[in-house]
């Protein structure tokens, strides 16, 4: 579910919208709960590498 939300937000809002960080964080949390730590860490690293647009 979180993965679908993240992809939908990327398509509709653009990669640099602040809501993308929220969705990425939610998905990373779900992955961590599933003990998929490497995937969660990579997702957060990727999200952090692309800071949101200022003023949002």
The domain tally of the chain equals 1
Cβ-based neighbours of 16, under 8 Å, separated by 6 or more: 50, 51, 52, 53
* Whole-angstrom distance, CA of residue 34 vs CA of residue 50: 25
In this prediction, residue 16 has a pLDDT band, given cuts at 50, 70 and 90, of: confident
Domain membership of residue 42 as a residue range: 2-49
Q: What's the mean pLDDT in 20-31?
A: 91
Q: Is residue 35 part of a domain?
A: yes
Whether 56 maps to a domain, the answer reads: no
Domain contains 55: no
Structure tokens at 17: 């919208």
Residue 54 lies in a domain: no
d(CA 40, CA 21): 13
Is the pLDDT reported for residue 41 higher than 70? yes
| Confidence band of 3 (pLDDT split at 50, 70, 90) | confident
Integer CA distances (angstroms), 36 to 28, 30, 33, 42, 46, in order: 9, 9, 7, 10, 16
In the predicted model, is pLDDT for residue 46 greater than 70?
yes
């Amino acid at each position: 579910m979180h993965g679908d939300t993240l992809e939908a937000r990327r398509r509709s809002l653009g990669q640099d919208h602040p809501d993308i960080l929220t969705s990425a964080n939610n998905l990373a949390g779900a992955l961590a709960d599933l003990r998929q730590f490497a995937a969660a860490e990579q997702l957060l690293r990727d999200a952090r590498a692309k800071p949101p647009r200022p003023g949002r």
